[in-house]
Structure 1
């Protein structure tokens, strides 16, 4: 009897990649449009699913308790939507794509930082409103040789540092899980969070969302940062207290922010919307046509591999 993979939810135009790979492996592929765990459970029971491929749907403890699963695959790097403790309790491997979209996110973070420092979004908005005035973005200070602080230092900030080598940046990193020796080898100085905030012209957030990092960057952090500092977040929205961020920018505690992620997506409203010193993008840092293909192929192959009784390539 053939195994069945349920794609719980997706926003791709189609599932041609997944269907082709599943077909080659002799595996059935079914789809759903699940929003919550109850939807996931109902859909999986309806097709007798052995495995799940999930994009945004929460895979909670209830899912693991109610279903007999061989593996769960998550479209992406982050796995905060999957209850990993429950997966472990039920002996279900979880796979993701840990090296997914590294180039794209690194490039996007740098683009946000440059836009904030060079005021490109502000100038564009003013020109659209009929104003042609180079002083609208004053003051703009040179970025060459500035200090960049990474909150979390994994493969994406390492990629960013390499791409930005021509700027002659000084790199700092706050990451309790990386050793001084590891960071030295990458050309990065390991520091505490407070020191990073005090010294950095650009603060770029790259941590996963956990209980430890939820609103890690909040009012106290903004009070510690330089007045000319720019915050960039391409990680998870809830790592930053955006209400406190808006207040800090309005009060002149920091210069601005470039955010690709927000605590609520899509946001209904935010104090950030009315601030010219904020550049927002719709959680798109991951995107390129190439990255989508790599994402889908990689996680699907890993799920199919587990169903074939092989060890996963990317276990969380």
Structure 2
């Protein structure tokens, strides 16, 4: 079988570094490098275009000299605030039955907008901490939500990444400052009851579970020595890898269910074991850390190659080929 032409389409404004992991995975599996493409060319208003090439799709970016008919497209590392602008491109890929895991406009939107995520969790009975969505609330509305949630809460923007603009609130003063912070930015936000996910030695902890095609690929525990700081590795949390077989079965089932609830074929699910197991969020394109090239990046690329080898594209509601 000939080597496939793989286009790796990412946004270079991201600092997560996922593109390098994925490019290396392509090299390991195919013996050749992917063609790297700036996703911004195919966002709304971009100069890139997709045109029919027989029964396939040709990607063109004239000013970059790009003229490519890929066998596989890997669409990844798109910052949350830039995803909506790629909806038209995703629909184009879907229309042309391109081999990719990157279609699914509705799934991306639901997982990216955390207010929609909470609505979907409620619909599908996915366990999560009680949450109130706030849109430019007045002082009384914010205070009522704070009281309802037990006055030990986390505030976060509806669209965000890496724990940015996320605050642990336990006092009226903290609530007032957070309310003003989001108001100044015109940002809708969520207030959620604290999960009590603190270890015996006082560290905040949660789990990141990678799900692909209805099964757990890999997991890690995050340990944050600053319990009032988001439990993200980019905010100082220490990742501890966990083999899928060693993950608590309740967390594994919950991660798979949460991914399916979003309509995603692949995701990184953040959750805690406390309160019987609760999901915090579902990440459309979770970042990788050291050691996750073989455990996450390679299987993710391999799924694309399996779909290509099977001679058909992939849809979010379709089982991955074996």
TM bin (shorter chain):
0.3 to 0.5
TM-score (norm 1): 0.37
TM-score (norm 2): 0.36
Structure with greater strand percent: 2
Q: Which has the larger radius of gyration?
A: 1
